[in-house]
Structure 1
């Protein structure tokens, strides 16, 4: 499914909020008030409601010994008070800080200080005197530092890491807040105990430092040009409703002036069982799970939920335009008011959106993107509980105005209104949607997300699962009628112009370092962690059972695995040949995604794939090219025939190709204005010098020598290369092999590869023996982007275990070193990491990488800490034990199933391994010691020179102070790119 919304995922601290649970000891709840079993065979779910109103959804999926759980709150940022926006998101962060039993060494002493902090924050919220507010913040910081000596930072994460959790996270959106985690199946009761405690008496400790973390998250959003346009359009479309008048992250002023009392009120009003749901999907016993849910969550106390007053919007009567500025590519977004989900027209409007843009097909894709009339274009719906809207967007070509791009979008919309489309497209959309649902239900995450959607939308699972069948009943006449009804001249047009943007100024507060004690464990944590259920026995990949390999042709291997779940196939033909072997290769071969054949025009090829329900893609990189087909097994043969026809007999449109080259050159011009691309280009330049992918590429003059006829020579070179075949599905292996021999007929295979793959060595431009070297690129922005690289040696498979241990110790979530030291203790970043990246093939070079994204005026402080953490990381027995237990549980519960086994086999083969390496690593794991880890860390990191890149605003950064940390060299933008 497509999503247009900007990312609002977050991990977001004081005050003992009104408890969800009574003070009485936990006891089994009475029998559930209601129970239903979803009859849909594709997603069997047992649903029941506890007497306190908590809705529970259980879905058994024994494919892997793990379960995925979500705690869903039916409230989000639209419920934020108008004078304290961002509260829902703040509260989400606070639910990771623990309770009166978890995350604290002495809650009685801690609470006395936290109560004072709460009172001071309320004074700060009420005060209008800047001097008084500044003094109050100083007092708050003194008390926060004092209270921090009683806190155990990241204990929730540490508990979960020791239990083998993956993906502990949460997100807040307009209408929901969702907490999620993936756990080994033998840890179900421990999960229930932790989650019950987590929501029982949350304590908003370490609040001040977490506020700074949320500011950093806001900084990321303010640096995002797409968020800028989105928020402007939403504000113009929804002039009264929080959808447009509030953002999930809140305003800068509200973020700097929080009210803990209002946060407490939000928790008290909305975090109640009759406004929540538990969703669990995985390898669970339904009856036993139900008893655990009743035991740990049945004692939550039901409370009334305040109704949400929907602001009545005045309907748009005409086109309204809103303009924003940001250096770089221009963009237009059109927003049409439609309907909320649940409305009778919602299904038809969903069809219209997919008719315009279904990802691989649609009128916009065929008529505007494929023909290169626009550099990029698409559509997406925004469906909410109170209102809905349809959004179309376009990025114009060089010399094309935003008004002209808008006109092109409206022309495609007009075709829908006039019925100028094939009714078969509607059936193709229904099939595409059906296949997408099947893929979604293959994973526990996909199942849980669909179930949560059912709860939040107030619609049955049967209704959501029956969407394809309902789509098939919608006629062309109904589509035309709905298009004419909703897509008139009343819409918002948002224009983003290539002009200077005035970035907001946020001052760095003076915060004292928290006195954190990560080595401490609360009695609650010890009790949870000391429960030892029967261990899960690891399931390793069996090369004799889990997949098969045979010779398809001399030097060509055919790999297959069986899909036991459904009738979907996944097929790939892969070549070790790419742009570095023949410059310009990818520029031409990527166009196969928009090519015709000797028999079919490009639009007909796209239509045929779409009507088959097949996704076809041709991907090209520096050292590889592949064709991938995905769809129903019943369509494998026609899909293969059509894919092979495109691969070997493509007809490229010369006019389209030349337009593409012009758009590519426009993209290159915009690279120099885009902060994300500048960061990537600087990193590559420092790593590889003239071999950087932004320099070692065809020049503009070389690109102009290419044309549609260049395909023939590139195709002929590809025919000479070796390749590999991969198929996952339910068709018999012999049948697939016969079809491949019939339709995949390469000639002149040359072995070995004409130009073997050879990744560039890390050059580290102008590197000398200085301990620290900093390469600085000036770029106006709210945040500075700090990256670290340390070159390693050629990949050694025998070091995979130590690499994994280092990554878990330093970067394994909220309880690991980087998060604790950078974010929790000092509030210097929202995002930070340190990771040892192992080469993907023998001969490739390992590299140590790290990152801190921080407010510009915190750059020197963040970089100084970065150096310290790399040279002298904290040697902690607690961190070591956390990493040890996390890895042990991961080895025990990770199952590489049919969806990943062929890819993992190829990865191991590229490293020179002829079997699953994990059994040997698992046997070595208990023998590792903290001293061994630090010997490794010293060899790979601490003893090595450190090379940093910094992209930031020099007007906000103390460059003289930066020079005290190491040699600083300023890089010019022109050095990073080859036009």
Structure 2
């Protein structure tokens, strides 16, 4: 059976003999019957008998649920103020994560040591159906479809290719609880597990806590894994998949595992080919626009590795032609036709990346995790970029010729209909939810009361500085306390709504030459310096963005300014880009995520949707870089804002920037740009329920919700936060519990009331349920019920309140985000950190306040739903009984 590791990951959230249960002896009697019935069903081949066993399992599951406290582990962690409780399974790891306040470490240890030592696989049937929904999501994922086909060809006997993380559809339909327990006993043993902690910790205290709670675990031998031996690939093996949308080719060469010495040269080869700036593929294929897009990436696992190259064709180009272009770049490496002077830039890029990774707890844990999983010292992981300095050009050529020969896999994804495997809806009864009760174990955890953490608010006099760079120009400075990586943003309130051609033409600055250098030469120079320069544009803004090491700050600013004001733009390049934009517009009409976005924008904003109110293809074709001189002149007459984060002194930064970026000597802008209008949602109907339906062939139906609100009132921030926590604040909240835990109608759900980010803009309630298409009616009815009359629970409200309290105490604003956050508060009328105000109001908040919020903001409002799904799998007659249905076609939501 495949997919067991992933199943088990889900079941490790269900509790133990002590956690997640109200009466385990009684519950166990029923759970044992469920396990026995599953084993009978697992061995049975007669469809009628299998169906009868399934009915017995459903009945027993409902009986067992009366003793269960669903997702109690999440309820505990929410009460502790933790965030991000989650897990994931990959080919060689299953990882469980949570972010928690530092004063809750002992409670975490108490929960986790219990969780993994004594798991009970309760509520298995609804969780199984949740995994079905997760599988449905992958069936709607064209990238995953292609990647699985590649791996299947690349690894014919190793699990890398013979099975997927989620398992096959057939195996999903026929699970075995006993096999899952066997897997748990085999692999979930102390000497096959590790704990990674990162944060503001007392290291000695942390060691003592971990020792106290985890040392009782008994060491067990882990069976040695016998690595399946792959036969060498012979010749070029081709495979293909069909999926509507853009076509794609992937080329894969089998290489080496993580510990191989050749990994170093292969890493450099990948970066020599594709690093986003100065690789051979970047220059020869992407910048020159010989393909729509292309790149490479390596993968080094415990047993084997591979190097992958992929490309997306232009209009009229075949996948085979893209394949040949990619292989031609690989040949250049094999022949030594590359500039080895770029290698120090590659090493510097990796060093900067690691410094950035060390800025966050997630990044630090990731490095420790690599050390454990790959069984290499942490020092070796940390010093990998330095080790690359010993690799010579001859080494690179030898390794390239060793692995990139005539034996490889080629996979094509064609723009054709895909036949979705069918997973039948099993007809599960609703589970009983004891959400207002808790186990004795949970009580014992929550009774531990450590000293609370004092909140840390943004101090406008210490955490950042703001100065007048010039009349009308503000300069925000934030000190980087961790490393020597700087970021500088120069932001203008000037965009495509002021000049419709601006974003398309000024985007060419990202592909410009300057000072006699070609674009390729300029990108090479910047890459060697470790400097990244980009220019971005939106409806009402334009930005120059620079990052790198402080030691290169002045050079970076100098070059960025030269590009901004004296760029050499290539009109042929712009014309080719336009062709790719037009081709992408055609493909986007077949792309699920784009269709969902376009339908949502159409319903929300009507003709102001970004997919409708956009430049016509004919106007795109008339664009010219000859517009650049006038555009930069217009930009020069605008005021701007400066944002710097780094370690250079504030005055030194200002002096350097002024040396190259002279502000206009004026007190007001010479050109007054159009201000961004208020964000107002279109009023489309006065029906209690209105459904806009877009037909799309897929495994799932995607249900999005919209309830327009009023203009934002920042003083409602506290009650808004409490409602969101109460309704959708994790696995113990209403939406997850009722939709996923009790009925297994979806894998992914969301529902939040979103306060607008600027005075005058309009709030909105948004939500989402992704469900198997034949469950659409049931899911939609439930969604409406939960919005109009959600279950009332004082205990759940208190959990939400506790979670919000801990959030205020522990959610510090990262130094790189301080200036932007202060700006966003200013947009709402706050001239200081508003959080202390709401934190102080929180103890007085009552459940009645949330109930009043629901009544006035949600339950009394008309509901708008947008559904993208296959109408042949949905009972459209029943859908029309729920609300007024309007069919929407693709040409309505896309224009130009």
TM score, norm. by length of structure 2: 0.99
Is 1:244 aligned to 2:164, yes or no? no
Please give the per-residue CA displacement for 1:223-268, whole angstroms capped at 9, x wherever unaligned.
1111111011110111111101100010001111101111000000
Residue 758 (structure 1) aligned to one of 677, 692, 711: 677
Verify: 1:613 aligned to 2:530, yes or no.
Answer: yes
Pairing 1:599–2:495 present: no
Counterparts of 1:860-879 in structure 2 under 5 Å? 860-879=777-796
My pick for the range that moved more, 279-288 or 621-630, is 621-630
**CA shift digits 1:506-557 (9 cap, x unpaired):** 2111110011111111111111112111111111110001110000011110
Q: Distance in 2 between matches of 1:296 and 1:594?
A: 57
Aligned partners of 1:786 and 1:853 also within 8 Å: yes
Contact 1:688 1:760 in 2 (8 A): no
How far 1:651 moved relative to its partner? 1.8
1:548 aligns with 2:465: yes
CA contact (8 A) 2:17 2:119 kept: yes
Matches of 2:236 and 2:605 in 1, distance apart? 50
**2: CA distance between counterparts of 1:380 and 1:211?**
34
**Contact (CA 8 Å) 1:236, 1:492: kept in 2 or not?**
yes
Counterpart residue number, 1:527 = 444
SS of residue matched to 2:867: strand
- How does 1:129-208 map onto structure 2 within 5 Å? 129-208=46-125
Partner residue in 2 for 1:465: 382
Q: Distance in 1 between matches of 2:560 and 2:631?
A: 17
| 2:757 equivalent in structure 1 | 840
* Alignment partner, residue 278 of structure 2: 361
- What is residue 45 of structure 1 aligned with on the other side? none
Q: 1:424 aligns with which of 334, 341, 347?
A: 341
Measure, in 2, the Cα distance between the counterparts of 1:697 and 1:713: 22
Alpha-carbon offset, residue 290 of structure 1:
1.0
Match of 2:765, SS? strand
CA contact (8 A) 1:576 1:753 kept: no
**Aligned-residue RMSD, C-alpha:** 1.2
1:486 to 377, 386, 403: 403
SS at match of 2:490: strand
Please state which structure has a larger fraction of its residues in helix: 2
* 1:722 CA drift (Å): 2.1
* Distance change in 2, residues 1:759/1:395 (3 Å): farther
Shift in alpha-carbon separation, 1:797–1:330, aligned structure 2, 3 A: same
CA contact (8 A) 1:691 1:760 kept: no
Structure 2 CA distance for aligned equivalents of residues 588 and 262 of structure 1: 60
2:654 pairs, out of 737, 752, 770, with: 737
Seen in structure 2, the aligned counterparts of structure 1 residues 771 and 905 have a Cα distance that, compared at 3 Å, is same
1:582 shift after superposition: 2.2
Q: Secondary structure at the match of 1:360?
A: coil
Contact kept, 8 Å, 1:213 with 1:823, in 2: the verdict is yes
Aligned to 2:708: 791
Give SS of 1:933's match.
helix
The correspondence for 2:766, drawn from 841, 844, 849, is 849
Q: What residue number does 1:706 align with?
A: 623
Distance across 1 between alignment mates of 2:414 and 2:268 = 31
SS for the counterpart of 1:706 is coil
Deviation at 1:752, TM superposition (A): 7.7
Cross-structure match for 2:602? 685
* Partners of 2:391 and 2:626 in 1: CA distance: 43
The CA deviation string for residues 424-464 of structure 1, in whole angstroms up to 9 with x for no partner, is: 11111000000100110111111011001100001111111
In 2, the alpha carbon distance for the partners of 1:417 and 1:132 equals 61
Partner of 2:825 in structure 1?
908
Alignment partner, residue 199 of structure 2: 282
Displacement of 1:759 in angstroms is: 4.8
Query: SS of the counterpart of 1:750?
Result: coil
Report what 1:499 is aligned to: 416
Q: Is the 8 A contact 1:394 1:405 kept in 2?
A: yes
| Alpha-carbon distance change, 150 to 753 in structure 1, aligned in 2, over 3 angstroms | farther
Q: Secondary structure at the match of 2:196?
A: strand
Number of positions where the alignment pairs a residue of Structure 1 with one of Structure 2 = 894
1:334 match = 251
Q: Structure 2, unaligned stretches of length 5 or more? A: none
Q: CA deviation at 1:192?
A: 0.4
Q: Shift of residue 760 of structure 1?
A: 4.3
Deviation per residue, 1:465-523 (Å, 9 max, x gap):
11121112211111111111111111100001111111112211111001111111111
The aligned residue for residue 136 of structure 2 is 219
Tell me the CA shift for residue 165 of structure 1.
Answer: 0.5
In the TM superposition, residue 796 of structure 1 has moved relative to its aligned partner by 1.8
**Residue in 2 aligned with 1:928?**
845
Which residue matches 1:80? none
Contact 1:722/1:752 (<8 A) preserved = no
In structure 1, how many angstroms separate the alpha carbons of the residues matched to 2:182 and 2:276?
42
1:635 maps to what in 2? 552
In the aligned structure 2, how far is the partner of 1:581 from the partner of 1:127?
A: 69
Q: Normalized against structure 1, the TM-score is what?
A: 0.90
In the aligned structure 1, how far is the partner of 2:468 from the partner of 2:672? 17
Q: 2:577 is matched with which residue?
A: 660
Contact 1:516/1:825 (CA < 8 Å) preserved in 2? yes
Matched, 1:312 2:229: yes
Deviations 1:573-608 (A, max 9, x none): 112222233223222222222222243211122112
Report the 3-state secondary structure (helix = DSSP H, G, I; strand = E; otherwise coil) of the residue aligned with 1:230. Answer: helix
Verify the 8 A CA contact 2:470 2:663 in the aligned structure 1.
no
Counterpart of 1:381 in structure 2 is 298
Whether contact under 8 Å (1:555, 1:751) holds in the other structure is no
> How many Å separate the matches in 1 of 2:540 and 2:520?
29
Q: Shift of residue 355 of structure 1?
A: 1.2
Name 2:540's counterpart in structure 1. Answer: 623
Q: Secondary structure at the match of 1:277?
A: coil
Separation of aligned partners in 1, 2:446 and 2:626: 65
Q: Which runs of 5+ in 1 are unaligned?
A: 1-83
